[in-house]
Structure 1
């Protein structure tokens, strides 16, 4: 419940500190006095946008704070706890706006973004404005009113979550489909390239081996001649060779070692050299005996080498990188194949997500239809009381599976007939301005009873209503005030007289400055104010008597 509202330097208010009590509080004042100024200031605490124009001329900043008790507001308490902003059983919302337009917001003394003021404010106050009956003509607003009355938030949340999931999967599918033509063209190219490389089937390291073997066979004749010449020099030449010369040297070294033992290492080195020459000669002989010049194999190698280099140029890679490139292309082709599978999977997910959405939307639609019948009776009863004795109200809920939105798949329309014999039709086609005001007010009061908001504000919602109907409206609001704190800005004495308490707004000018004030009225002051509302500037004994009757009622 709203306990206190403090306003400093807001518009034409210099300073106000207002204490509020349970029940219905009537707020009245002369036209132009600023009856809604407290509500406008309160709106700042609830996160409404504001600029430097909100600051009273000559002041450096505006400051507004609102204090609420939370004994019967568990949702607000839980929200404050979840956001580490709790303060016993109170909630203090504060807002400052400087003359250069900078704004700051606080919850229980902690700086917060405006979004958090709005978030907690929805649990604390509900505001019904004087133009609410105009919004009543909009289908979206009609849907919101029905949902507010039904209070099936879990169903609303389930539909929203299913809708968001559906849109997410559809977006993924659309993105994949948009690139499908490019993927198809790329896949066709890759299939041709991979098949060509598969057919060639170059193995890892094969190109290097081919190069070595091709070079050997290409130089076969030179290899044979040079090997034979080398063998002759090492061991086979009759005219003299290295092996025979080393044998002689080894023999001489043995003789020298006998003469001088210190020369033994030389003999050892010559022996090792002789062994190396003999092994080299033997190895070279084996190589030469195995060396074959196979023209057919050479032709095969030459063709394979040429093909490898041709493919490498075609793919703009080095021939030694061709095998790796082949693997890369094959991997990409497999990825594109998996994309096709993903496309099919996403298409199936879209179907499944739409079915899941429609299932939740149908549950929501069934709930709406059930509560629509309940609301039909209550609003019809209300408009009978509001001087439309032959009126009938009905809500039409039509489920349309083709209509998929975050709020479900329903078309909701408020229908009414105000005269006997007339068929039900849309509000805009049937109801006059005054009738629409009464219907709108009846719906607001009925839905307000179902919403667990501790404070409700009605800002001149009785526009277009007068006489006996105004008295009924007053009684409705007073009854609502028995269970919920109600603040009602009104110009009708029949409504104001039903308040449990009454506040008067005055505007006066002094020394070139205009200022609005607001004060609580005692019983006699209430009689004077109700008399003013009844009779204008001229207050007679009759108007005073009438005012006392209104107040007594």
Structure 2
């Protein structure tokens, strides 16, 4: 419940501090006095957009503060707790707006983004403006009214969640489908390339081995001749092979060792050299015995090497990289096959998620049909009381699977007939301005009773209503005020007289400056204000008597 509203330097308000009570509070005032100024200020405090006329002339900053009791608002308490803001029995929302248009918002003294103060405000106050019945002509607003009446919050959340899930998967599927033609062309090329490389079947490290073996066989004749020459030098030259020369050197060294034992190391080193020469000769002989110049194998190596070079140029890689390139292409082809499987899987997921969405939407639709019938009866009864005795109201709910949205698959239309014998038709086609106002007011009051918002504001919603109809409106709002705090800005004495309390808005000009004030009225002042509303500036005994009757009726 709204307990207090403070306003500083707003439009023609210098300072106002208003205390509000439970029940219905009527707000009246002369034309142009700014009866809705407190409502406008409250809207700014709750995050509405400010304009150039927000600040009082000459002021550098406007400030708004609203204090709420949270005793009967569990949703607001939970919101404060979820957002780590101070939680108590009361909540204070404050906003400042500077001359440069910048604003700051606070919840319980904590700076917060404007969006947060808006979110919390929706849980604390519901504002019904004087043009709300015009919004009722729009299908989306009709849907909102029905869902508010039915308290479809949880059903709407499940429908919206399944809708978003469905759209997300559809987006993934569409992205995959858009690249499908490219993938098909790429897959055909890869299949050809991989098949060719599979057929060649180059092994890891094979190129190095082929290249070395080819080089050896290509130089086979030269190798044989060179090896034989080397053997001739090492051991076969009768006139002075390396082995015979070392043997001669060993003999001479042994003679020298007889003269001086210190030369023993020379003998040892020469013996080791002889062993190395003999082993080298043996190794060369084994190599020559194993060296075969196989023309067929050489031809095979040459063909294999030539194919490696050809494929390397074709794939624009080096011969050493060809094997790794082959494996990369195989991996990419496997990945494309996986994409095809993903495409099938995503299509199945889209079908499943859409079916899930339709199931939730149907559940919501059935609930809407149920509550639409309930609301039909209540609104029809309400418009009968509001001087439309032959009127009938009906809500058409049509489920259409091709019309999907976060709010379900329903097309909602408010239908009405105002005269007997006439068929039900869309409200926009048959209702006059006054009839529309009465129907809209009836719906607002009925739906307000079902909404958990603790404070409801009706800002001149009785425009276009007068006489006995106005008295019925007053009774409706007072009845609503028995269970919910109602603040009603009105110009009708029949409505104002039904308030549990009454505030009067007055505008004065002093020293060239205009200022608006707003004060609570006692019983005597209320009678005088009601008399003014009844008879204008001239208050007579008759108007005073009528005012007393209104106040006590």
Q: TM-score, normalised by structure 1?
A: 0.99
Aligned residues: 553
Q: Which moved more, 1:454-463 or 1:427-436?
A: 427-436
SS of residue matched to 2:53? helix
Preserved contact between residue 52 and residue 98 of structure 1 (Cα < 8 Å) = no
Displacement of 1:252: 2.2
* Separation (CA, whole Å) in 1 of partners of 2:500 and 2:50: 32
* Separation (CA, whole Å) in 1 of partners of 2:148 and 2:305: 80
Preserved contact between residue 51 and residue 97 of structure 1 (Cα < 8 Å) = no
Preserved contact between residue 6 and residue 18 of structure 2 (Cα < 8 Å) = yes
1:285-340 deviations in whole A, cap 9, x for unaligned? 00011111111111111111111011111111101110011111111111111111
1:485-525 deviations in whole A, cap 9, x for unaligned? 00000000000000000001111111111111100000111
1:153-188 deviations in whole A, cap 9, x for unaligned? 111000000000000000000001111111111111
* Separation (CA, whole Å) in 1 of partners of 2:528 and 2:271: 140
Displacement of 1:255: 2.4
SS of residue matched to 2:212? helix
Alignment of structure 1 residues 373-522 onto 2, 5 Å: 373-522=373-522
Preserved contact between residue 34 and residue 507 of structure 1 (Cα < 8 Å) = yes
Preserved contact between residue 77 and residue 87 of structure 2 (Cα < 8 Å) = no
1:67-110 deviations in whole A, cap 9, x for unaligned? 00000001101111111212421110000000111100000000
* Separation (CA, whole Å) in 2 of partners of 1:40 and 1:265: 115
Preserved contact between residue 376 and residue 394 of structure 1 (Cα < 8 Å) = yes
1:209 match: 209
Preserved contact between residue 415 and residue 427 of structure 1 (Cα < 8 Å) = yes
1:379-438 deviations in whole A, cap 9, x for unaligned? 111111111111111111111111110000001111111111111111011111111110
Preserved contact between residue 51 and residue 102 of structure 1 (Cα < 8 Å) = no
* Separation (CA, whole Å) in 2 of partners of 1:220 and 1:399: 89
* Separation (CA, whole Å) in 2 of partners of 1:87 and 1:353: 40
* Separation (CA, whole Å) in 2 of partners of 1:254 and 1:508: 139
* Separation (CA, whole Å) in 2 of partners of 1:73 and 1:39: 21
| Structure 1, unaligned runs of 5 or more | none
Displacement of 1:256: 2.0
| Structure 2, unaligned runs of 5 or more | none
Alignment of structure 1 residues 246-261 onto 2, 5 Å: 246-261=246-261
Preserved contact between residue 52 and residue 100 of structure 1 (Cα < 8 Å) = no
| 1:127 corresponds to 2:127 | yes
* Separation (CA, whole Å) in 2 of partners of 1:39 and 1:85: 26
Q: What is the root-mean-square deviation in Å for CA atoms of aligned residues?
A: 0.8
Displacement of 1:52: 4.5
* Separation (CA, whole Å) in 2 of partners of 1:28 and 1:53: 23
**After the TM superposition, which parts of structure 1 deviate over 4 Å for at least 4 consecutive aligned residues?**
none
* Separation (CA, whole Å) in 2 of partners of 1:51 and 1:428: 32
1:77 match: 77
SS of residue matched to 2:32? coil
1:342 match: 342
1:66 match: 66
* Separation (CA, whole Å) in 2 of partners of 1:136 and 1:310: 77
Q: Which moved more, 1:47-56 or 1:451-460?
A: 47-56
Displacement of 1:253: 2.0
* Separation (CA, whole Å) in 2 of partners of 1:280 and 1:148: 102
1:533 match: 533
1:530-551 deviations in whole A, cap 9, x for unaligned? 1111111111111111111001
2:224 match: 224
2:329 match: 329
